[in-house]
């Protein structure tokens, strides 16, 4: 399997989940229905903070040199993202509780699984960045919308780094399948939490046609 084939396969596996994570309901779920700028920024800051902690923990115990660099770079990106979002808030202390997706990622100890899970996390997070950009565009706040557009651009680099790492560490078809399962699990964890959050608020997570 090539990296591009892997990317397409994961997207196809998770087409419905990624589509719904990219809906306007995703911010409603993430903020507990508090769709104002403050709560949206807090949710975004929390997500960046826990992601940085996850990737740094991977980097700290990763024996594979290239993987260690990829994970350390991802941790640095997420710390920068957190600081950029937190700068929009006053004296904010992030919530240390990991999301379901981050909890899933933190259970990964194998390099191949981590590389796949990183790719899955990028695909899910791209969707939230799109919604954050759209939210602040709708709030007539082009500066903050531009911030989240820039943060999404960093995810392009993370996606490419994850795919390059997968090409290095996946030596057999079984390795590619292991990575694919980990990527799918990351997306599914995000989607399951999204579904549960909406249902707890009495909201149907499925689109109304």
The C-alpha atoms of residue 106 and residue 19 are separated, in whole angstroms, by 25
pLDDT of amino acid 73: 97
The C-alpha atoms of residue 184 and residue 50 are separated, in whole angstroms, by 20
The C-alpha atoms of residue 72 and residue 60 are separated, in whole angstroms, by 8
Q: Nearest to residue 110, comparing CAs of 56, 164, 61, 167?
A: 61
pLDDT exceeds 60 at position 200: yes
pLDDT exceeds 50 at position 209: no
Tokens 């904010």 belong to which residue? Answer: 92
pLDDT of amino acid 101: 95
The C-alpha atoms of residue 152 and residue 185 are separated, in whole angstroms, by 22
Specify the 3-state DSSP secondary structure of 109: coil
The C-alpha atoms of residue 191 and residue 159 are separated, in whole angstroms, by 19
pLDDT of amino acid 83: 96
Indicate the fold that domain 3-200 takes in CATH: Heme Oxygenase; Chain A (1.20.910)
Assign 207 a pLDDT band (cuts: 50, 70, 90).
Answer: low
The C-alpha atoms of residue 159 and residue 183 are separated, in whole angstroms, by 12
The C-alpha atoms of residue 25 and residue 33 are separated, in whole angstroms, by 9
Q: Nearest to residue 108, comparing CAs of 10, 164, 7, 185?
A: 185
The C-alpha atoms of residue 85 and residue 49 are separated, in whole angstroms, by 10
Give how far Cα 163 sits from Cα of 7, 18, 70, Å.
Answer: 8, 19, 11
Assign 208 a pLDDT band (cuts: 50, 70, 90).
Answer: very low
pLDDT digits (tens, 9 = 90+) for 59-78: 999 999 999 999 999 999 99
Reported as type and span, the H/E element at residue 164 is helix 142-169
The C-alpha atoms of residue 125 and residue 50 are separated, in whole angstroms, by 13
pLDDT digits (tens, 9 = 90+) for 112-144: 999 999 999 999 999 999 999 999 999 999 999
């Amino acid at each position: 399997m090539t990296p591009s084939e892997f990317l397409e396969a994961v997207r196809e596996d998770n087409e419905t989940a990624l589509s719904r994570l990219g809906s306007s309901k995703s911010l409603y779920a993430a903020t507990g229905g508090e769709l104002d700028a403050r709560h949206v920024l807090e949710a975004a800051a929390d997500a960046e903070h826990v992601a940085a902690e996850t990737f740094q923990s991977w980097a700290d115990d990763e024996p594979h040199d290239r993987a260690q660099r990829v994970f350390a770079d991802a941790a640095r990106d997420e710390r920068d993202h957190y600081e950029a979002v937190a700068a929009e808030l006053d004296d904010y202390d992030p919530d240390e509780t990991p999301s379901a997706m981050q909890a899933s990622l933190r259970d990964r100890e194998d390099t191949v699984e981590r590389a796949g899970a990183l790719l899955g996390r990028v695909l899910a997070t791209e969707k939230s960045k799109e919604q954050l950009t759209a939210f602040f565009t709708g709030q007539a706040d082009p500066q903050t919308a531009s911030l989240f557009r820039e943060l999404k651009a960093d995810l392009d680099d993370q996606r490419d780094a994850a795919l390059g790492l997968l090409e290095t560490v996946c030596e057999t078809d079984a390795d590619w399948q292991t990575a694919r399962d980990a990527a799918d699990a990351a997306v599914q964890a995000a989607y399951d939490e999204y579904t549960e959050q909406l249902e707890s608020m009495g909201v149907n997570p499925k689109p109304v046609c």
